[in-house]
Amino acid sequence: MKTLTRRSFNKTLSRGIGGATLLTAMPWARAMGEQKQEKKKLGVALVGLGSYSTYQLAPSLMECELCYLAGIVTGTPEKEKVWQEKYNIPASNVYNYENFDSISSNDSIDIVYVVLPNSMHADFSIRAAKAGKHVICEKPMAVSIEECDAIINACAKANVKLSVGYRLHSEPYTKEIKRLVNEKVFGNVQYISAEAAYRSGGNPDQWRLNKTLSGGGALMNMGVYAIQSAIYGTGENPLSVTAQEFSTRPDYFKDTDETITAQFEFPGGTFGNIMTSHNTNVNRMYASCDKGWFELNPASSYGPLAGQTSNGVLSFPHERQQKLQMDDFASHIINDTPNVAPGIMGKRDMIIVKAIYESIATGNSKIELKLDSMGL
């Protein structure tokens, strides 16, 4: 409530969400309160209808309680009709990359979700913000720190909300790990290890293996999950990083990193080791603490995740992570609940990614990270 702007309030009110609560709290809006408000969900437009939109986001939007699939933005005309029919999307809510900016005049779209190759995230996130739409930008947030800044600034200037597609912050096992760490249930974390990797094959021309489009290889793709695990698994931002790169299939990974390991030092004295790869399948995190241990395995798949601690097995009901994520963001817009994956988090991770590449480029040197002032 505190930071709800008049503009976002009016937008929310016009859709009738949370209207009853808001009307009693906002004197300047009370006069409008006589009108009966109809309950509606926020409209989401997916930009880029590739694998993640098709198999994860669109099905999850069918289950969301606070938002729904209202529109699509695609560069592939054949997909328009298929998606329109499957999801009952009116022609007025279908855009391509050229006419996308005219989405500004479409009141049924509240949130633009950018699900394109990494090098296109900044352009479309900034255009979405300029169009007055709230933005979810997929991970990694962008291909440089400068691009992250440009997205953050564009959203601030347009007074729209910004989130990174870090679905795990809405996921129950991950939330439990954060609670265990914050409440020091097992004391201080002494060692954390996190691996996020899968074996890549198939088309060598795919955008993930093209540095111009991806910004980097395994580190940009899966590595951000390992970085995230190391951070929420310790509850701290790292002070420094030292990294190494390994290559066993240089003919396939011509342009991007195959496997990277990196070691973090944390302010509390915790030591961390992460591994990310496009050459092997591992997905877990493990923390050794002075009064026990905890682990997730898998730690960052689409779920259900699984985990245990020195006190026993963790067990939570499974829901689509992306459903929980998008409802969390919609709630942030509607109810001013916390933004669990704000843009600044995506920028922090890009600073760490850059430092890891710098460490490798400079012969595994230790790179100091100055993340204290980021407010995370």
Q: Examine residue 347 and tell whether it contacts ligand NAD (CB under 6 A).
A: no
Binding segment toward ligand NAD, per CB under 6 A, in 109-117, 147-155, 340-348, 359-367:
109-117
CB of 168 to ligand NAD, least distance (A): 8
CB of 250 to ligand NAD, least distance (A): 23
CB of 64 to ligand NAD, least distance (A): 16
Q: Examine residue 212 and tell whether it contacts ligand NAD (CB under 6 A).
A: no
Q: Examine residue 118 and tell whether it contacts ligand NAD (CB under 6 A).
A: yes
CB of 120 to ligand NAD, least distance (A): 6
Whose Cβ is closer to ligand NAD: residue 30's or residue 81's?
81
Binding segment toward ligand NAD, per CB under 6 A, in 113-121, 173-181, 274-282, 348-356:
113-121
Q: Examine residue 76 and tell whether it contacts ligand NAD (CB under 6 A).
A: yes
A 10 A CB-CB count for 1 gives 11
CB of 138 to ligand NAD, least distance (A): 4
Q: Examine residue 304 and tell whether it contacts ligand NAD (CB under 6 A).
A: no
Interacting positions 217-256 with ligand NAD (CB under 6 A): 221
What is the separation of C-alpha 27 from the centre of its chain, rounded to a whole number of angstroms? 36
CB of 165 to ligand NAD, least distance (A): 4
Cβ within 8 Å of residue 4, ≥6 positions away: 12, 22, 336
What one-character DSSP code corresponds to residue 209?
G
Are 295 and 307 spatial neighbours (Cβ–Cβ below 8 Å)? yes
Instruction: Measure the CA–CA gap between 28 and 30, rounded to whole angstroms.
Output: 6
Whose Cβ is closer to ligand NAD: residue 136's or residue 189's?
136
Per rule CB under 6 A, count of chain residues that contact ligand NAD: 19
**CB-based closest residue to ligand NAD:** 50
Q: Examine residue 75 and tell whether it contacts ligand NAD (CB under 6 A).
A: yes
For residue 240, the SS3 value is strand
**What DSSP string runs through 72-139?**
EE-S-HHHHHHHHHHHT--GGGEE-TTTGGGGGG-TT--EEEE-S-GGGHHHHHHHHHHTT-EEEEPS
Burial class (CB in 10 A: 0-12, 13-18, 19+), 249: middle
Whose Cβ is closer to ligand NAD: residue 74's or residue 309's?
74
Are 233 and 266 spatial neighbours (Cβ–Cβ below 8 Å)? no
Q: Examine residue 139 and tell whether it contacts ligand NAD (CB under 6 A).
A: yes
Are 254 and 209 spatial neighbours (Cβ–Cβ below 8 Å)? yes
Cβ within 8 Å of residue 62, ≥6 positions away: 68, 69
Binding string, residues 14-53; x marks residues near ligand NAD by CB under 6 A = ----------------------------------xxxxxx
Strand bridging mode 240-246 / 111-114: unpaired
Q: Examine residue 278 and tell whether it contacts ligand NAD (CB under 6 A).
A: no
Per CB under 6 A, residues contacting ligand NAD are 48-53, 75-76, 115-118, 138-139, 165, 167, 207, 213, 221
